[in-house]
Chains A and B, each alone.
Chain A
C-alpha cells in the first residue's frame, strides 16, 4: 500500500521528467523562439513541481470537485513527434497531449483505488493536470487558431 507521500513523490518525479523533456528538446531545437518557448514550458513544469512539493509540506491541492474546463482541443488533434525542427504549433500539441495523458493516469489511479485519502489525492492531482492542459489549450486557441 502506498502512502500519500509516496504518491506525491511519484507526481513530483513526473513533473521533473516533464521539465527535463522540454529542456532537452529546447537544447536540440534549431529555432530561436522555439528554444525560448520550450524552456518556458520546462519552467512551467518546474513550477508545478514546486507546487507539489509545497503540498507535501502541507499546502492543499486543487479540490477534486472543482470544475476545470476541458476545451477538448487535444482530443481531435493528431499526435506529433517532438523533432528538432518542432514548430510552436506542434510543441503546444505535444504539451497538451502530455498533460492529458497525465490527467488520465491520475484519474485511472483514483478509480482503481479504494482508500478514500489516496483517492482524493489522485483526483486532486488529476485536477492539477487538467488545469495544466487547459493552459496549453488556451495558448493553442489564442496563438495558433487566431483566425479560427
Chain B
C-alpha cells in the first residue's frame, strides 16, 4: 500500500469546509407555469353533468354525492371526485366541461404520508389551490362540443299565415343524426321531464338510426310521442347542459324524428303490446292526454278500460285547443288510434252527470281515473263583458278545430298571454285579421311557450304589454266593440313570484275592434260529483289535491291532468295518467292502501 492510499481518506475532510454542491431543500415550492395543468378546481357553476367522468380515459373521475348539496332540477347533486393515482393531467375533462366550471390550477405539489389521500372532490374539499388564479383553462375558441343546434325546416311567416299547414317540417334523417350527435348523454334532462322519459337513450337510438328501439323507449313513459314531438313544453331543454354555452339539444324534435319514421301500422309489432285480460275494469273520465295515457298503461296490464268523453272526438285540449299548424290532426290521431287499437273503448258525446251518473261509474268500475282538464274559460268580469263581440279564446279554437268559422272579423284584440291567447291570435291571423294582443304583464312574463310568442310576432301579431283591460263599450257599429285599457306599472312580488301589474288610471286608452277574444285563464267544472263523494276529496283552490299515485280520499277515484296539477301541460297530464295507472294496479292488487 502506498502512502497516498493511506492518507487519501483524510483528503475528504478538506471538503467538509467547502460550500455544499447539493441543494439544501430540494423540494421547495417553485411556481408552476401560468397554464400548467395542475390540480383541479371546480366552481359553483358545476351542475354535476358528469361529462368529465365520461371522457376521462383513465377512469380517474367518479361523480359522487356531496354532503349538503341537494339534487334539484338541472343539477344532479353529484360532483367530480379525482383520483390522482390515475390522472394523467391531459385536461380533456376541462376541455369538455359543459359549464366551464372545471379548471386546473398551476399548483402541482401535494405532500402527505397517507397513500389514500390523493382523492378529492374538486370545488368541495378545502384545498390550498382552490383560489388559484393561474393554471389551465380551455381557450374560448377551442370546442370539443358542437354548440349550434341543427335548424329544422319551417314555413316562412307569410306562407305560415296563409293556411293551417304544419309550420315545422321535421328533421331529415341526416339532420336528426347530426343533432343527436351533439348530446353528451348526461341525463340531467330526465329528472326535469315530468314523465322522466329516457331521453339520452332515445337520442342514442336516433344517432344509431334504430327507430324501433327509439319507439319502444318512448312508449315506456309516453304514449303521445307524436304529439309531444311537436307541442311538448320541453322543460327538458331548459336544463340541457348544452344550453350553457350554446343551444340546448332539440330533444322535442328528436322525439318527433323517431315517430315520423315509424308508420302507425308497425307500432303493434314493434311495441309488442299483448293484452292479457285480467278480468277487472277501470273507467276513465276524459279522453285527453291524461285519460288516454292512463287507458294505455291500464290496458297493457289487462284491464278492460272504458273512457267517457263529452266531445265527439278524443284528444281533449290537444284536439280542441291546439291548432293544426302546431299539431296536425293526423299526428294526434296516430297516438290516439294506437291506444284505441289495444281495445280501449271510448264513449263519445257522453257527459258525466247528465248522461251517466257519477255514482254509477263509481259503483260499476273497480277503479276510476278522472282527468277532465280545465275547459271553462275565466270571464273578464269587467264592465260590458256581455257584449256579443266578446268571444272566448277556447271557443274560437274549438270552432276552428271543428271546421266552423268563429267570425272574428278583420281587426281583433286578444286578451291574455298564455298559449290559448297566442293560438287565438295566430288563428285570427290565418283568418285574415289584424291582431293586437293585450297582456297585463311584460312579454318575458308570458306563460306561453317562447316559440309561440316568437312565431306569433313573426306572423304579424302586435303584442302590447302592460295593458290592463278595464271596460268594454258599444262601438258606433253594432258589429264592432270598443275596449278601454290602462297602462300598468310592474311591481316586484315580495314572495318571489311573477311581478304584479298595477293599473295607472291616468294612462288610459280606447280602441275599437271587430271582436275581442278573452283568454285570461281556464277553470274546471266538477259539479257532476255528488256531495256524498266530494266531501271526501281534498281540493285546493280550484284543483284536486291527489295523494300517493294520484289517489283521492275516495279510494276508488284517482285524478290527474290540468285539474290536479299546477303545470297544466300535456306531458304532465300524460305522466299523471301513467302514474295513476300504476296506482290503480297497486290498489287493485292490494299493494296500495284503499
Contact = CB atoms under 8 A, between A and B. Distances in A.
B541 A89 contact: no
A32 B497 contact: no
B526 A32 contact: yes
A148 B382 contact: no
The majority secondary structure among interface residues of chain B is: loop
Contacts of A141: 500
Interface in B386-425: 415-421
A76 to B, nearest CB: 4
A141 B378 CA distance: 12
B520 A148 contact: yes
A147 B382 contact: no
A144 B503 CA distance: 17
B497 A142 contact: yes
Contacts of B317: none
Contact of A78 (B382, B491, B531, B537): B382
A32 B415 contact: no
Interface in B492-550: 497, 500-503, 519-523, 526-527, 529, 531, 534-535, 537-543
A143 B381 contact: no
B131 interface: no
Contacts of A70: 502
Contact of A148 (B383, B385, B415, B491): B415
Contacts of A31: 526-527, 534
B470 interface: yes
B204 interface: no
Nearest to B538: A36
B526 A76 contact: no
A144 B378 contact: yes
A78 B386 CA distance: 12
A75 B448 CA distance: 27
A88 B523 contact: yes
Contacts of B502: 69-72
Contacts of B497: 142
Interface string A131-148: 000000011011111111
B418 A146 contact: yes
B539 A143 contact: no
A38 B531 CA distance: 16
A63 interface: no
Contacts of B447: 146-147
A20 B438 CA distance: 39
B471 interface: yes
A32 B500 contact: no
B379 interface: yes
B381 A32 contact: no
B468 interface: yes
Interface in A39-92: 69-72, 75-78, 80, 87-90
A24 interface: no
Interface in A104-148: 138-139, 141-148
B520 A77 contact: no
Contacts of B527: 30-31
A90 B380 CA distance: 11
Contacts of A36: 538-540
Contacts of A77: 381-382
A71 B383 contact: no
Contacts of A76: 382, 468, 470-471, 503
A138 B529 CA distance: 29
A111 to B, nearest CB: 21
A32 B358 CA distance: 14
Contacts of A143: 541-542
Nearest to A37: B541
A30 B497 CA distance: 32
B296 interface: no
Nearest to A31: B527
A137 B429 CA distance: 34
Interface string B425-459: 00000000000000111000001100000000000
Given A33-B539, A146-B521, A75 B503 contact: yes
Given A89-B381, A93-B381, A148 B416 contact: yes
Contacts of B441: 148
A89 B523 contact: yes
Nearest to A69: B491
A138 B541 contact: no
Contacts of B415: 148
Nearest to A138: B500
Contact of B520 (A88, A90, A142, A145): A145
B520 A80 contact: no
B510 to A, nearest CB: 14
A36 B526 CA distance: 14
A51 B225 CA distance: 54
Contacts of A142: 497
Given A146-B447, A148-B441, 11 more contacts: A30-B527, A32-B539, A33-B541, A69-B491, A72-B502, A72-B503, A77-B382, A78-B382, A144-B378, A147-B447, A148-B519
30 contacts: A30-B531, A31-B526, A32-B531, A33-B541, A36-B538, A36-B539, A37-B539, A70-B502, A71-B501, A75-B503, A76-B468, A76-B471, A78-B383, A89-B378, A93-B381, A138-B500, A139-B541, A144-B378, A144-B521, A145-B440, A145-B521, A146-B418, A146-B520, A146-B521, A147-B418, A147-B521, A147-B522, A148-B417, A148-B421, A148-B519
Interface of B: 378-379, 381-383, 385, 415-421, 439-441, 447-448, 468, 470-471, 491, 497, 500-503, 519-523, 526-527, 529, 531, 534-535, 537-543, 568
